[in-house]
């Protein structure tokens, strides 16, 4: 993967004008754009994909650089039909909650078309106490269980906190899964509502395939500069981390 392909920008905005502006500025510097519930609800997936896919000339194929973050979670039949509808948009990837169960994840996989399916484990906004209250187990134990279920269901990858990456990397049964990591915050960015976080460089060294980054890029501190400046700065940090990994091999 190219360095820029490891950066997925979260378009956490409510209208197409704001999304278009960010995509035009950032398309040369990142690999993918995540379309979350905020934009999906206010605009709608088909309209978002159609609009954003046309930006930047040859930079985009139809939907090829888009990740629909709909977090599908329902009975298997409903998840399967929603997965089919999402795959017909031609997007690069979409996700399903692993807590929906193995059969629901299998339904998503069976209807994914050419898209990749990612399974959400434990949200990065949950601190340890809350994760234990919700799931009845420590966060790492629950993430491992859900990751194993996801692997069994045949998904392409999982979404987890960067703090679970090293632990999951030691589980040989999970080999082959992409590890997509939100909760990534450069040292110069505010943590916000994320709890289990790590810097971009540390997350790559810990085993992340790609990083989902929102506000540190889309709303960077004044001293960092523009969103493009922030993306370039994070890409540089990733490059240093990849070089460190190469020296260790």
**Residue positions annotated with a catalytic role:** 71
Q: What share of the chain is helix, strand, coil (3-state, %, to 5)?
A: 50, 15, 35
- CA distances for 215 relative to 92, 137, 190, angstroms: 22, 30, 9
Cβ atoms of 46 and 13 closer than 8 Å: no
CB atoms within 10 A of CB 118: 25
Tokens of 4: 């820029």
Cα separation, 145 vs 121, whole angstroms = 9
Separation CA 143–CA 125 (nearest Å)? 14
Let me know: does 149 contact 121? Beta carbons within 8 Å. Answer: no
The size of the chain, in residues, is 249
């Amino acid at each position: 993967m190219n360095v820029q392909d490891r950066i997925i920008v979260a378009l956490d905005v409510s209208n197409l004008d704001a999304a278009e502006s960010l995509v035009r500025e950032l398309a040369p510097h990142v690999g993918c754009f995540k379309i979350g519930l905020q934009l999906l609800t206010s605009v709608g997936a088909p309209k978002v994909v159609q609009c954003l896919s046309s930006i930047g000339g040859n930079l985009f194929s139809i939907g090829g650089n888009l990740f629909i973050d709909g977090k599908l979670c329902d009975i298997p039949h409903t998840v399967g039909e929603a997965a089919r509808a999402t795959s017909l948009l031609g997007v690069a990837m979409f996700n399903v909650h692993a807590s929906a169960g193995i059969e629901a994840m299998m339904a998503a996989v069976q209807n994914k078309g050419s898209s990749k399916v990612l399974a959400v484990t434990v949200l990065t906004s949950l601190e340890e106490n809350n994760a234990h209250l919700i799931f009845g187990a420590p966060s790492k134990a629950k993430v491992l269980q859900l990751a194993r279920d996801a692997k069994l269901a045949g998904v392409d990858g999982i979404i987890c906190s960067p703090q679970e990456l090293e632990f999951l990397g030691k589980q040989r049964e999970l080999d082959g899964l992409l590890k997509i990591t939100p909760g990534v915050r450069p040292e110069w960015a505010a943590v916000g509502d994320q709890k289990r976080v790590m810097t971009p460089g540390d997350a790559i060294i810990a085993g992340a395939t790609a990083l989902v980054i929102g506000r540190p890029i889309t709303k960077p501190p004044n001293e960092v500069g523009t969103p493009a400046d922030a993306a370039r700065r994070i890409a540089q940090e990733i490059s240093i981390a990849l070089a460190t990994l190469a020296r260790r091999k």
